[in-house]
Amino acid sequence: MAVSERGDDGERNETVALSSEKQQWRRDTYNFTVGICAIVKDGEAYMTEWLDYHLGAMGVDAIYIYDNSFGDPSLELGHDLQAWHRNTRSHPLYSKVEVMHMPEMSTGRQKMAYTDCVLRYGKNVQQLAFDVAEKVGYWNSSSTSPRILDANDGIDYLAMIDIDEFLVPRGNYTSVHGVIKDYLDPYVGGSLTVNWMLFGSSNKTLYSPIPVTKRFQYRDEMPNGVVKSITQASDFGNVAGPHATNTVYGYRRTTLYRGAILENEKGTADPSLPTGALLLYHYRYTSHKEYHYKKCIRMETDGAKGCDYRTGRVITAEELERKGMPDHIAIRTGSVFDDSAWQLLSERVPKYRIYDDEAWVDYS
């Protein structure tokens, strides 16, 4: 089967192969594990699809969710994921998910969550990383809930992404493991950067209980320069920010070609925009009302960035430019049709195929 990507004129301009040979991904084995660290704030409406995609369609080995919603976990108030976690311990997929409640309001909570995730669940993490984290208050070695795994247990590679971001292999690749095998695992230490591909609102105005990868299938023409990182736990030094990690001795690498090293000093952007192996499909906008709620009412884990408090509305592209803020905050519609993520999900997790039935027309 092939997934076509068409522009507004309906012309097919690229094909992402999902041929029968790609079913080999189910039989491939690797001598390393891949996990995801994510910080979530009231994202329950979108979480199941995101978990099914990464655990079921991508074969990710484990996911660690840091719940940034408010509430008292001991009373299960405002912490619905605690009950969900308890009820899914025997589930074939969701039992691979761990949930930690982290309602801190500090501006560094993403760095704190990602740091804790690597130190708690990464494999062969160096003592230097623990020392650095404890010095800045991101780790407490005397905590009542310290790392419970042996040093040589845990996950080899950890991706630090959000639940509106989907790791999508490109070209001949069928899984995230396969990309890491070629672009990161052969080298000593380091991390791998993955560029955003921004998906627009598709002119949707309201929420609809249909999977995000089905509802929003129009993206920008080219990837965005912003990247997220997949880091080797044994070389982890510290989290530089939501988009990058610092390693002890390895390089930040890209998928431009095998062995390519990221030249961006901060590790937060890759202007070469590589597309051949792996992209991070970012469904950040969803519908207009959902984006307004996320930015101005609920607010994201990074606060109310992108909302004008005086008017209570999302800042426009023109206002962002005037304020010197990133243009990717402004909602856009999307111009290129791309259902790659949806095809991967519906092909590999059969329960989603029902949404291709004409009865599930999206009127949002």
pLDDT tens string 210-242: 999 999 999 999 999 999 999 999 999 999 999
**What's the confidence (pLDDT) of residue 299?**
65
CA distances for 199 relative to 18, 272, 330, angstroms: 21, 19, 12
**What's the confidence (pLDDT) of residue 300?**
58
Is the pLDDT at 343 greater than 60? The verdict is: yes
Q: How far apart are CA 195 and CA 278, in angstroms?
A: 8
Q: How far apart are CA 303 and CA 325, in angstroms?
A: 15
Q: How far apart are CA 293 and CA 291, in angstroms?
A: 5
3-state secondary structure of 318: helix
Is the pLDDT at 6 greater than 90? The verdict is: no
User: Between these two residues, 126 and 328, which has the higher pLDDT value?
Assistant: 126
Is the pLDDT at 16 greater than 60? The verdict is: no
Q: State the alpha helices, DSSP H only, in 33-92.
A: 44-51, 80-87
pLDDT tens string 175-210: 999 999 999 999 999 999 999 999 999 999 999 999
Identity of residue 142: S
What's this model's pTM, rounded to 2 decimal places?
0.88
Q: How far apart are CA 86 and CA 74, in angstroms?
A: 13
pLDDT tens string 61-75: 999 999 988 766 555
Find, among 349, 298, 10, 12, the residue nearest to 166 by Cα. Answer: 349
pLDDT tens string 66-125: 998 876 655 555 556 888 999 999 999 999 999 988 876 666 788 999 999 999 999 999
Average model confidence (pLDDT) across the chain: 86
Sign of the torsion formed by the C-alpha atoms of 116, 230, 52 and 155: negative
Q: How far apart are CA 162 and CA 110, in angstroms?
A: 10
Whats the size of the chain, residue-wise? 364
Find, among 57, 83, 59, the residue nearest to 69 by Cα. Answer: 83
Q: How far apart are CA 114 and CA 327, in angstroms?
A: 25
Find, among 279, 186, 297, the residue nearest to 225 by Cα. Answer: 279
